[in-house]
Each structure stands twice: as structure tokens, then as C-alpha cells.
């Protein structure tokens, strides 16, 4: 009797729903009066029957239904075509008939169909699910699953006089007779100006999605969808809002989505096609395209496209682990794919007390703190539980928290690497001289010698055989270990070929003579780097094969604020692109990891190729905390770090990774970076304290006495 009351209330609610589109998981529908008794379908009775030519989307949805029946009730239900299935009313079989089949109930159900929509009804020992197009049929199968299967206990309970169908107002008519009054809209903050010399034509990801969708919609429907900037509020116009358009309709849709969800939702006269980040946005656009394909009806040379307003209300991406304690403070203002299965959550309007409360919450949930740091009013910590990793940090000047989730098996874990072996040599940093072709600049390579005799390499340079040989010669020259050459870690600041090229040559030519224990990197995701001026995907495309050549090199992804020891040297990560979000990432050089190495009372700051945005982030986060004895000049002296950055670092010595001729050109340039170089050299350093990576290698032994050792390997 309890089940009966539940179903009567449920269907009474369905019949009284407002005609507006729903986003709460309840399905608008008409129902007939429901009899006092309920039809119970037990295990072994149900058979799913579909038409022989059922479209692939319907077949897939029936597979999903079959899996749900197995998961909820433990039933193993057969799916048969109407030409293969037979039924005998005496044997207790109940047929769930899908679409336009040879079964009589298919004709009965077609008579109940709205002009555009679906129907679910029953007669005798059959249940029919029917739709006027593919999209409507798929929708109705999902409705049946939600209403009757996912709520089941030990059997299916179906009202004897079942009739569910939609109202006309629940339907979105996108195209009518090859015409549409919908436009495609994206944010005016996107870069929509093509640059054919750049990867991805210099367009932002959202713009590319919109332009591709416009073309596909034209091909599918014959209708012309105009493309416009969608920031102006216009409640009367019909728009398909793609991505972060900054509109109230988007915010209304996102309230019902978790960070890993996305969808297509009708809000007023708008169709919101979006998610919380670029990855889910891409999935939402793909899902919308498939929905249009399924909702297309072509007849007499005319095309009409229609579907239910909440057909794709909330879909879930599987890329990330979202099963972790949620941050209780502030406002979730955005998320970003952080590569290697990591998700970045960005919380604003929070404070350090809420951050510390969250750390206590993690510990109460069984997470263990494995790394922590506090600098310049910023607080950082890394927590682990089983294979899960959470790196969370508070940035004081933003009053914001960034939380990055991932798995240790995919991303590694930055921890102390201390052998406790006896000291066999002095700690030093060597700037390698490289082969600089007259037609190009760039390339940098540094060798750090640890007191236990192991080495740490930073970048390396271009893929030049002579430079790979030079690196191997240096390692041989300074190796004091009896067990051979051991590279404790290879740090790659970013994925540009003048920084990773030598690694490729070295691994290919010399990996059998050395042992590489770890590879340290932080890389932006494919979606975030999409329009970042010459992005690269070295780690994805080339590193796995090189690692295999070297018999396996573990990868550790770095996060801002991490501080760890490699033997006697302290490595502190000061910046990754995780700090740049939510700013646009429009220059790939700003993907460079910035880190400082301290040993024996001295420090050296590695900057890679950072430019203005990263420099500003570093100055805002740390200010004078950036103070270091030695600095590696950013981007080889070209369009690099800001003057404010170098003033905060206030170095005594600069390592300049470029040729003598390029150094001279950098110093003479009339561009802004030329003035910065002159201020750095003449006002902060003094020209005698600049060491150029040309002709000679320079070794800085810590404690540093003021003059490096000059040599040729």
C-alpha cells in the first residue's frame, strides 16, 4: 500500500507541473487518471523489444537501461529486435516495446503521440515507448529509467493505465522548415581575430567551438545561424549561449551543475550550452551537436529540428576525481582542467581562517599532510589519502584559494629525496655554454651538483649533438660517486624545444650510461594552452617514448608553494600556470615553472621564459620575498620578466642563457625589454656580474664567494 501511495502522489505531481522547462530532474508530462492498483513486473518477466533498424543512439540508450536494471534490481534483461522476439501471453512475459515496431502496441502508442514529442503507455502485457524523432525516443527511454527503474525496490511498479507524454511548451523547436530564429553567441572577451601564423589560427577555444558549430548546424539543417557577441542582456532574443558569456542565464544553469558537469539547458529564450571549464564546454558542444542530429526530421525537402528543453540538463565528465571533501568557504568562481587528470577549483571571497578550517576538515576525513609552506602571508599544503592528492593554497592578495585534485599514480608527489649518503663534493650550479646558431637565440642548460654526488639538470637547450656531448662531459668531469652518474631530477621549465631539445638528444645518446631518477614539470592543459602563442605538447607526444628509452623516468607534477629537499638543496616552487588562472593564458612562455634553490646560505632563482603576466603574479604574491642571490635572466633577455620582478629579486649575479651577440642586441634594443635589460645590468647588478652562456661554462660553488669558476668541458 505504501508503494501505491507513493506512485499516486508521484503521478499527481507530474500532471500538475508548470509548462515551463524544468531543471530539477523532474520531467514535465501529461498523465491519465491512475487506477487504484499497480502492475508489478517481476524478475524474469521483462523483455525489451526494439525495431530492427533502431538508430545507434537508441540502441546505446537501451544498453544503458539494461545496465541500470542490472545495477538496481539485479536483472539480466534481453534486448531483441521485433523480428527475432516472440511472446506468449500465457508465459507471463512483459514486453517493453521501443519505437516503431511490428508490435500492435506501437500503433496504439503512435495514436497517442503529440505532434512533436514522446509517449509512454501500456496495454495488456506490453509497455510502449515512442517518439516523433530520435531525440524524443531517447529522452523517453531515459524518462522511463528515471521514473520506474531507478526508483524500484524488488520489482517494477507500473500504473495499469499509464500514459506519459509531453506538452508542446516543453519542446524546443530549433529549426522549422530550414529556418531558425536562434543565433550563436559567445563572450566578447574572447580572442576572435584570426592569426594564421599561430597554432589554432590564434583564436580562443570558445570561438573555435562556435565557428565549427555554425558550420555543422548549416550542414545538418540547412539553416543559417548568425554568430554574435553575447554579453548584452536581451531577454527577448533567441540565443544559443556558448561558454562563459557572463550572462544571468549561464549562472542560473551552473547552479544545478557540479564542477564536472555540463549540459544544454533552456533558460527563458536562451539555450545555454556550457560547463564549468573549457573541457566540459567542449563536451557540451559535442552533446548539443548530437542532440541536433537526433532531433532532425527531414520531409519533402524541408528540415525541422526539435527536442525536449531539458534533454541534456546535466551530464557528467569522467576525467576528474570529484569525490573529496568540499571547500566550505568563499565562492566557487571557476574551475580549470590542470592536466594529467587534475582539476583546479578557484574560490574567491575567502580568507586564511576558512582555508585553515578546510585543512582541518581534510585531516578529519583521513587525509595526511605531506608538504606545507607559508610565505608572504600565503599558505600552501599538499594532502594525500590512498591514491588521491589535494594541493590547496591560500593567496592573500587575492583573498582566494586554489584547490587542485589529482591522483598520485598519475602525477607523482613532490617529497624530500635525501639519501643520507656521505658528502663527496661541494654543492654548485653550472651554467652550460651552448651552441647558438647565428640565425637563432634561445636555449638554456644548468647542472646542479649535490653534495652526495648526484646531479639535477634544469632544461638543457636545443637538440644539438655537440651540446648533449658537452652535458655528458660535465657529468663525467664532476661525478664523484662510485655507482656511476645519477641524475636525481631533471627540471623542465616549459615545453618549448629550445628547453627540452637537449633532453631528447641526451636520452637517445647517453641514457644507457646514466640513471635519471625523476622528471619534474608543471604543464597547462590542452584546453588552457589552446591560444597561448606557440603551445607545445612535448610531455604528451614525445616524453613517454623517451622515458621508455631510458627504462622509465618517473614524472612529478609541481605545484606552487611546494618546498622539498633533494639531498642538501631546498627546492621551492614559486609559480606555475595554476597561479595564472583565471586570467587568459595567451603567451606560452608564461607556462614556465619558477623555482628557487637554496643551499649553504645562497640561493638561485630559475625563471624559464616568464613574461609580463607571470611576473605580475609573482610580484603580487611575494614582493620582496623573491629576493635571491643569483637569477637566471628570463627568456634569454628577450621580452621576458618585468623590471618590478627583477627589483624584487634584487640579485647580485645574473646568469644570461644566450650568445654574446644576442646579449649585445638585447642590451641595445629600443623596445621595452631593452630598457629593462639596461636597468637590470646597470642599476641592479653591474655589468661585471653578468655571465653569458657563450664560449665558457660557469660554475657557482655554494657558499658563493663572488666569482664563478670558468671552464670549457
Please report, for the chain, the start and end positions of each structural domain, with discontinuous segments joined by +. Answer: 2-166, 173-316, 331-411, 428-704
Running along the chain, 713 residues long, what does each successive block of 10 average in pLDDT? Answer: 37 35 37 58 94 94 97 95 64 90 93 96 92 97 96 92 94 96 91 80 91 95 90 82 90 91 93 95 96 95 94 90 93 95 97 98 98 96 98 98 97 96 97 85 94 98 96 98 97 97 97 97 95 93 97 98 98 98 94 98 98 98 98 97 98 96 94 96 93 96 95 91
Q: Which residue has the cell 542532440?
A: 291
Domain 428-704 has CATH 3.60.15.10: yes
- At 712, is the secondary structure helix, strand, or coil? coil
Residue 448 bridge partners (DSSP): 429, 456
pLDDT of residue 199: 82
> Phi then psi for 307, rounded to 5 degrees?
-165, 170
What is the DSSP secondary structure assignment for residue 671, as one 8-state letter?
S
Using CA atoms of 412, 414, 416, 419 in order, give the dihedral in degrees to the nearest 10. Answer: 40
CA distance 599 to 523: 27
pLDDT of residue 2: 38
Residue 130 bridge partners (DSSP): 119
| Contact call for residues 152 and 72 (beta carbons, < 8 A) | yes
| Contact call for residues 403 and 390 (beta carbons, < 8 A) | yes
2-166 with 173-316: one CATH topology? yes
CA distance 314 to 31: 25
- At 307, is the secondary structure helix, strand, or coil? strand
In the CATH hierarchy, which fold is given to the domain comprising 2-166? Chitobiase; domain 2 (3.30.379)
125 CB burial (10 A radius; 0-12, 13-18, 19+):
middle
Class of the domain covering 331-411: alpha beta
Q: Which residue has the cell 592578495?
A: 397
CA distance 414 to 391: 11
Q: Read off the C-alpha cell for 251.
A: 549562472
pLDDT of residue 5: 37
Give the pairing of strands 690-692 and 653-656.
parallel
pLDDT of residue 439: 62
What is the three-state SS of 353-409?
Answer: HHHHHHHHHHHHCCCEEEEEEEECCEEEEEEEECCEEEEEEEECCCCEEEEEEEEHH
CA proximity to 604, closest of 427, 374, 479 = 427
CA distance 287 to 275: 12
Q: Which residue stretches of 103-204 are H helix?
A: 104-112, 134-144
What is the DSSP secondary structure assignment for residue 684, as one 8-state letter?
I
In the CATH hierarchy, which fold is given to the domain comprising 173-316? Chitobiase; domain 2 (3.30.379)
CA distance 658 to 431: 11
pLDDT of residue 87: 53
Strands (E), 408-472: 428-431, 445-449, 455-459
- At 573, is the secondary structure helix, strand, or coil? strand
pLDDT of residue 226: 93
pLDDT of residue 103: 92
- At 649, is the secondary structure helix, strand, or coil? helix
Measured CA distances, 239 to 168, 460, 493 (Å): 20, 51, 43
Give the pairing of strands 126-131 and 94-98.
parallel
pLDDT of residue 440: 67
pLDDT of residue 215: 96
Residue 80 bridge partners (DSSP): 49
Measured CA distances, 86 to 65, 80, 90, 119, 352 (Å): 21, 9, 12, 24, 68
What is the DSSP secondary structure assignment for residue 90, as one 8-state letter?
G
Cis peptide bond prior to 100, omega within 30° of 0: no
| Contact call for residues 382 and 559 (beta carbons, < 8 A) | yes
Amino acid at each position: 500500500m505504501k508503494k501505491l501511495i507513493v506512485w499516486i502522489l508521484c503521478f499527481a505531481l507530474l500532471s500538475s507541473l508548470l509548462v515551463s522547462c524544468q531543471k530539477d530532474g523532474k520531467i514535465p508530462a501529461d498523465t491519465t487518471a491512475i487506477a487504484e492498483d499497480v502492475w508489478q513486473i517481476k524478475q524474469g518477466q521483462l523483455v525489451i523489444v526494439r525495431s530492427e533498424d533502431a538508430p545507434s543512439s537508441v540502441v546505446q540508450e537501451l544498453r544503458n537501461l539494461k545496465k541500470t536494471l542490472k545495477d538496481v534490481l539485479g536483472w539480466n534483461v534481453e534486448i531483441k529486435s521485433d523480428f527475432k522476439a516472440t511472446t506468449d501471453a500465457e508465459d507471463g512475459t512483459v514486453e517493453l516495446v521501443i519505437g516503431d515496431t511490428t508490435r500492435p502496441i506501437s500503433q496504439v502508442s503512435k495514436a497517442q503521440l503529440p505532434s512533436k514529442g514522446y509517449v509512454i503507455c501500456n496495454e495488456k502485457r506490453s509497455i510502449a515507448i515512442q517518439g516523433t524523432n530520435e531525440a524524443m525516443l531517447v529522452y523517453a527511454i531515459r524518462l522511463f529509467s528515471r521514473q520506474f527503474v531507478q526508483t524500484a525496490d524488488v520489482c517494477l511498479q507500473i500504473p495499469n493505465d499509464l500514459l506519459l507524454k509531453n506538452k508542446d511548451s516543453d519542446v524546443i523547436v530549433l529549426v522549422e522548415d530550414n529556418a531558425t530564429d536562434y543565433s550563436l553567441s559567445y563572450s566578447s572577451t574572447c580572442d576572435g581575430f584570426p592569426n594564421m601564423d599561430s597554432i589554432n589560427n590564434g583564436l580562443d577555444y570558445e570561438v573555435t567551438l562556435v565557428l565549427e558549430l555554425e558550420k555543422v548546424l548549416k550542414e545538418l539543417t540547412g539553416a543559417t545561424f548568425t554568430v554574435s557577441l553575447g554579453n548584452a542582456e536581451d531577454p527577448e532574443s533567441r540565443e544559443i549561449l556558448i561558454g562563459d558569456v557572463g550572462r544571468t542565464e549561464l549562472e542560473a544553469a551552473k547552479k544545478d551543475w557540479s564542477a564536472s558537469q555540463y549540459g544544454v539547458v533552456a533558460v527563458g529564450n536562451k539555450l545555454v550550452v556550457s560547463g564549468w571549464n573549457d573541457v566540459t564546454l567542449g563536451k557540451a558542444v559535442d552533446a548539443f551537436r548530437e542532440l541536433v542530429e537526433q532531433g532532425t526530421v527531414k520531409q519533402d525537402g524541408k528540415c525541422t529540428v526539435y527536442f525536449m528543453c531539458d534533454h541534456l540538463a546535466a551530464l557528467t565528465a569522467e576525467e576528474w576525481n570529484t569525490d573529496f571533501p568540499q571547500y566550505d568557504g568563499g565562492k566557487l568562481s571557476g574551475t580549470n582542467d590542470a592536466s594529467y587528470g587534475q582539476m583546479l577549483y578557484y574560490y574567491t571571497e575567502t580568507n586564511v581562517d576558512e582555508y585553515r578550517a578546510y585543512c582541518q576538515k581534510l585531516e578529519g576525513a583521513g587525509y595526511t599532510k605531506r608538504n606545507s609552506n607559508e610565505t608572504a602571508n600565503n599558505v600552501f599544503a599538499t594532502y594525500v589519502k590512498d591514491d588521491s592528492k589535494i594541493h590547496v593554497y591560500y593567496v592573500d592578495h587575492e583573498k582566494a584559494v586554489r584547490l587542485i585534485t589529482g591522483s598520485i599514480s598519475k602525477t607523482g608527489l613532490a617529497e624530500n629525496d635525501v639519501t643520507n649518503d656521505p658528502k663527496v663534493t661541494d654543492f654548485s650550479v653550472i651554467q652550460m655554454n651552448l651552441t647558438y646558431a647565428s640565425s637563432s637565440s634561445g636555449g638554456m642548460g644548468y647542472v646542479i651538483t649535490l653534495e652526495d654526488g648526484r646531479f639535477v639538470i634544469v632544461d638543457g637547450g636545443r637538440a644539438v649533438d655537440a651540446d648533449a656531448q658537452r652535458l655528458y662531459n660535465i657529468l663525467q668531469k664532476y661525478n664523484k660517486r662510485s655507482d656511476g652518474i645519477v641524475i636525481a631530477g631533471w627540471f623542465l621549465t616549459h615545453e618549448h624545444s629550445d628547453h627540452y631539445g637537449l633532453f631528447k638528444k641526451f636520452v637517445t645518446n647517453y641514457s644507457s650510461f646514466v640513471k635519471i631518477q625523476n622528471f619534474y614539470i608543471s604543464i597547462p592543459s590542452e584546453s588552457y594552452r589552446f591560444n597561448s602563442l606557440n603551445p607545445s605538447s612535448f610531455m604528451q607526444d614525445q616524453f613517454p617514448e623517451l622515458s621508455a628509452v631510458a627504462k622509465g623516468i618517473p614524472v612529478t607534477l609541481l605545484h606552487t608553494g611546494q618546498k622539498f629537499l633533494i639531498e642538501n638543496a631546498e627546492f621551492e616552487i614559486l609559480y606555475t600556470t595554476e597561479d595564472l588562472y583565471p586570467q587568459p593564458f595567451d603567451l606560452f612562455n608564461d607556462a614556465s615553472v619558477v623555482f628557487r634553490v637554496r643551499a649553504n646560505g645562497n640561493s638561485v632563482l630559475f625563471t624559464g621564459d616568464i613574461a609580463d603576466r607571470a611576473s605580475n603574479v609573482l610580484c603580487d604574491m611575494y614582493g620582496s620575498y623573491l629576493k635571491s642571490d643569483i637569477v637566471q635572466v628570463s627568456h634569454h633577455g628577450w621580452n621576458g620578466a618585468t623590471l618590478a620582478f627583477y627589483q624584487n629579486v634584487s640579485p647580485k649575479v645574473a646568469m644570461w642563457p644566450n650568445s654574446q651577440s644576442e646579449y649585445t642586441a638585447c642590451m641595445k634594443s629600443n623596445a621595452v625589454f631593452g630598457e629593462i635589460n639596461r636597468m637590470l645590468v646597470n642599476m641592479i647588478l653591474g655589468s661585471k656580474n653578468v655571465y653569458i652562456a657563450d664560449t665558457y661554462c660557469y660554475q657557482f660553488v655554494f657558499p658563493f664567494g663572488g666569482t664563478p669558476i670558468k671552464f670549457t668541458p
